[in-house]
Amino acid sequence: MATPPESVPVPPVPGRPARVRGPAQDVAGLGIGRAVGFLAPALLLIGAFLVFPAIWTIYIGITNYRLTGVEAVSPSIVGLSNYTRALNDALFHNALWLTLLFVLGSAIIGQNILGFALAWTMRRARPAVRRTVEALVLLAWILPSTVVAYLWIAFFDRDTGTLNSILGTQGTAWLIDYPMVCLVLFNTWRGTAFSMMLYSSALQAVPPSQLESARMVGASGWQTLRDIVFPHIRGHVLTNTLLISLWTANDFSPFLLTKGGPNHESETVPVYIYNVALQGGELGYSSAISFLLLIANLLVALLYLRLLRRRS
């Protein structure tokens, strides 16, 4: 249950793997015995509530375990049939496709570009402007997800919603007619703060002298970005994109806005897992899908750590 993306007020992503090899010197005289004792409670809790569930998913995923009925009492092993079923499950394909759209629209494009634009423009804005804008963007990020869901339900409301008032389109039920567009907008709004902060501190690494000389030779804004800024922050763009994609793909808050509806039109993989497991009661099948999600997360995280390591 690490870093639930629906509530990440401080990015709990420990970077700096360089520190992994930091100097260890037992100056207080703790000793290996007591050090292991210090580690034990944390490792026990992590083992019980994080590692064990992750491994157990594999087992539940090869059974026909159900929430109710005969299979709830005595589930039997069905081999890989849950996985072959997933291959032919149109609703699962639908969930995969929607998750892809969600990640592409709100993370890779939305949060990335808006976050960079904010970091780039706020760099030279007046301190008062900068503080106000950053506070708003951060506020969107730290508010509890249930509250944020209501903000957007009110914003998109058919009869009195703010969006309809602004556009003069009273009677448009955005969440029903265009659920994925709504989710992409919502998640862009919700998550841009992380990219903004990451790019803000990445931009500080761009030598001002290079920007200055670009201005002297009359480079356009776009040329400066492409030839001077981008080479410096390429690594950050990659790692940022990987992280926000991982979080977005695992985000449960679409459930709070649309519950996956109408008629599965916004049912991303996390919502699909919930609906199959707790609405449909098919714990075995949903575990198989959870395991696929875990594998996808693992691949992205391994790639992320590799990139970080190469950079340092």
Residue numbers 128-147 binding another protein by CB under 8 A: 129, 132-133, 136-140, 142-147
Cis amide leading into 9 (omega within 30): no
Picking from 224, 200, 223, the residue whose alpha carbon sits closest to that of residue 211 is 224
Which 161-180 residues touch another protein, going by CB under 8 A? 161-162, 165-166
Which residues, other chains included, contact 3 with Cβ-Cβ below 8 Å and sequence gap of 6+?
12, 13, 247
Residue 181 engages another protein in binding (rule: CB under 8 A): no
Residue 223 engages another protein in binding (rule: CB under 8 A): no
Angle subtended at Cα 302 by Cα 190 and Cα 307, rounded to the nearest 5 degrees: 80
What token pair was written down for 29? 């005289």
Nearest CB to another protein, comparing residues 112 and 290: 290
Cβ atoms of 16 and 307 closer than 8 Å: no
In whole angstroms, give the CA distance from residue 252 to residue 274: 9
Give the DSSP H/E element, type plus range, for residue 176.
Answer: helix 174-177
Q: For 79, which DSSP code? A: T
Given candidates 64, 157, 180, 181, which one binds another protein under the rule CB under 8 A?
157
Residue 35 engages another protein in binding (rule: CB under 8 A): yes
What token pair was written down for 244? 């926000």
Picking from 203, 211, 212, 208, the residue whose alpha carbon sits closest to that of residue 232 is 203
Residue 48 engages another protein in binding (rule: CB under 8 A): yes
Listed ranges 80-88, 100-108, 149-157, 208-216: which one lies at the site for another protein (CB under 8 A)? 149-157
Q: How far apart are the first and last CA of the chain?
A: 28
Q: Nearest distance from residue 154's CB to another protein, in Å? A: 4
Residue 116 engages another protein in binding (rule: CB under 8 A): no
Site size toward another protein, by CB under 8 A = 119
For 179, half-sphere exposure in the C-beta direction (CA atoms, 13 angstrom radius) is 18
Given candidates 102, 119, 194, 241, which one binds another protein under the rule CB under 8 A?
194
Cis amide leading into 262 (omega within 30): yes
Which 270-299 residues touch another protein, going by CB under 8 A? 270, 273-274, 277-278, 283, 286-287, 290, 293-294, 297-298
Listed ranges 20-28, 79-87, 89-97, 171-179: which one lies at the site for another protein (CB under 8 A)? 20-28
Helices (H) and strands (E) in the chain — how many of each?
A: 17, 0
Which 72-111 residues touch another protein, going by CB under 8 A? none
Residue 219 engages another protein in binding (rule: CB under 8 A): no
Nearest CB to another protein, comparing residues 144 and 207: 144
Listed ranges 37-45, 77-85, 101-109, 206-214: which one lies at the site for another protein (CB under 8 A)? 37-45
Residue 29 engages another protein in binding (rule: CB under 8 A): yes
Given candidates 251, 257, 267, 275, which one binds another protein under the rule CB under 8 A?
251
Residue 56 engages another protein in binding (rule: CB under 8 A): yes
